[in-house]
Structure 1
């Protein structure tokens, strides 16, 4: 099979690389998981991995891409993405809660490998730093999926805040053994409510108690 020729080929390559990387990480440790080993385990040409995932940080990026695309597919304009399109009557916090839980659901098949990777990344600051840019980009797309502005200086701050929020909830998710991810949902809801309260408080202080035009304080979280 030739990879990198069509969008579907690239998507399949990304999925296979992500699955192989996390499987190897769970079995042998993240520090012993590299592009050569992943290419062999995934059954894909090494040249394809070199072209699309040249660094170890890019292997983690493959996992993020799979999760991000699973969320964004729910927003497709062709009607297949009813999930996000049905958010019209929800608050920004509700929309973001839904989007982030969809992302955690999409990450479930990779959880064992991610747990090992997160642990081992503490000893790999350069890999972590290299992945940070990809991580911020993922968070910006989650904001867009929730129909929260992410393409301005304020949007960049929201993406950074969402990244910090996600990291805190992620630690809960890694050990959440409930059937419906109840602990993760509770942690995410609590974090979003705190962010929303902080944003509203900041808005009141900056506008003398109300938003512009005398409206009620915004209900959008700081992320």
Structure 2
């Protein structure tokens, strides 16, 4: 059975190769050769390239969750989610070149795009949970998918943001979350209307702490 150290070395090798060459050139043979392992050892550690990527994404999830500030609970939903997602961006910063290569490959490879979306939706479900926002059931799944779409839009800015403080990325994340908050309020009003309930006043909607929790963050 592959050790955690070996698995981590393989993950880092794939990221290094993805930063240097096209995705279709990041073969299992190339990964094994660069990592200094046999194909048998690589196979015992992972099922394939997607499984290696999955391990990388899972590791980022764990890093963000481990660093979560307990005091986030005192903030408004949008602020909690902003802090969680920006912490994720900071965790991804050392791997930006690899992410750029994967993003470019996804435009040419629909299967890769689907796999990356699956991983992102799962991660966004965890990020919503970390922010104290519902992420279960049908609405939770829709919320995670919508947040994944928003995340991909923020990532486009992140990949080209040359500012050391990631000012453009931070501004884009804030803008997208504010838009999501407004959409959530509108969705909640529509939901109440369709259920035959009186929609909340603008002031009540602004005062509520359920902006993102009750609607789709898109």
For residue 50 of structure 1, what is the aligned residue in structure 2? 43
2:79 maps to which of 94, 97, 115: 94
- TM-score w.r.t. the length of structure 1 is 0.83
Unaligned runs of 5+ in 2: 193-197
Q: Kindly tell me: are residues 197 and 93 of structure 1, through their superposed partners in 2, closer, same or farther at Cα, counting changes over 3 Å?
A: same
**1-structure distance, mates of 2:41, 2:136:** 32
Q: Please state how far the C-alpha of 1:200 moved relative to its aligned partner.
A: 0.6
- TM-score w.r.t. the length of structure 2 is 0.84
Residues 69-108 of structure 1 correspond to what in structure 2 (within 5 A)?
A: 69-74=62-67, 83-108=68-93
For residue 57 of structure 2, what is the aligned residue in structure 1? 64
CA RMSD in angstroms, aligned pairs only: 2.2
Residues 1-223 of structure 1 correspond to what in structure 2 (within 5 A)?
A: 3-4=2-3, 9=4, 12-74=5-67, 83-207=68-192, 208-210=198-200, 216-217=207-208, 218-220=210-212, 222-223=216-217
Kept after mapping to 1: 8 A contact 2:117/2:148: no
Kept after mapping to 1: 8 A contact 2:73/2:132: no
For residue 78 of structure 1, what is the aligned residue in structure 2? none
Q: How many residues in Structure 1 have an aligned counterpart in Structure 2?
A: 206
The CA deviation string for residues 133-166 of structure 1, in whole angstroms up to 9 with x for no partner, is 2222111111111111111111101100110000
For residue 79 of structure 1, what is the aligned residue in structure 2? none
Q: Please state how far the C-alpha of 1:127 moved relative to its aligned partner.
A: 2.5
